[in-house]
């Protein structure tokens, strides 16, 4: 983008570009969050989380250059990672929910709310851009 000597034109271009970036990012976060929730609804925590960034495979042999191949994280790994962010849900919340369920308390709404927060937190920190 070329800038002019006109601060109004330059500001307008900058704000338009910023707005576009923020809208694209919000759309990408919603999509990743939706994919996270769909994966958790499927109930297979050992399934690959194809929507999430791939991570180094430290079990497979290394490449010839010494680097690691990449693998998909599992849904369980992604769920656990969503608890690592300071402004997201915590492991203590998950443990508390588990304890309430074990006591026989109906917790469907609480579980859904927690999963929604986990999905939003994961997407916030894992969408590239």
Structure confidence at residue 107 (pLDDT): 95
Q: Is residue 119 part of a domain?
A: yes
Least confidently predicted of 10-14, 34-38, 103-107: 10-14
pLDDT over 70, % of the chain = 95
The whole-model pTM stands at: 0.83
pLDDT for res 112: 97
Cβ(70)–Cβ(56) below 8 Å: yes
Is residue 93 included in any domain, yes or no?
A: yes
Q: Is residue 86 part of a domain?
A: yes
Instruction: Tell me, yes or no, whether 122 lies in a domain.
Output: yes
pLDDT band for 1, please (50, 70, 90 cuts).
low
Confidence band of 3 (pLDDT split at 50, 70, 90): low
pLDDT tens track for 111-129: 999 999 999 999 999 998 6
Whether 74 contacts 39, CB under 8 Å: no
Residue 1 counted as domain residue: no
Average pLDDT over residues 67-82: 97
Query: At 7, is the pLDDT very low, low, confident or very high (cuts 50, 70, 90)?
Result: confident
Domain coverage including residue 28 = 7-126
In a domain, 2, yes or no: no
pLDDT digits (tens, 9 = 90+) for 15-59: 888 888 899 999 999 999 999 999 999 999 999 999 999 999 999
Number of domains in the chain: 1
- Asked if residue 76 belongs to a domain, the reply is yes
Residue 22 within a domain: yes
Q: Which residues of 61-95 are buried (b: 16+ CB within 10 A; e: fewer)?
A: eeeeeeeeeeebbbbebbbbbbbeeeebbeeebbe
| β-bridge mates for residue 56, sequence order | 70
């Amino acid at each position: 983008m070329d800038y002019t000597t006109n601060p109004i034109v330059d500001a307008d271009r900058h704000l338009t570009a910023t707005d576009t970036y923020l809208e694209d990012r919000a759309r990408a976060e919603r999509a990743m969050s939706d994919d996270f929730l769909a994966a958790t609804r499927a109930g297979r925590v050992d399934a690959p989380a194809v929507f999430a960034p791939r991570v180094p495979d430290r079990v497979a042999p290394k490449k010839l250059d010494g680097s690691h191949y990449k693998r998909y994280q599992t849904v369980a790994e992604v769920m656990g990672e969503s608890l690592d962010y300071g402004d997201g849900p915590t492991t203590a919340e998950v443990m508390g929910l588990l304890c309430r369920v074990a006591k026989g308390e109906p917790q469907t709404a609480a579980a859904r709310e927690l999963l929604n927060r986990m999905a939003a937190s994961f997407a916030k920190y894992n969408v590239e851009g």
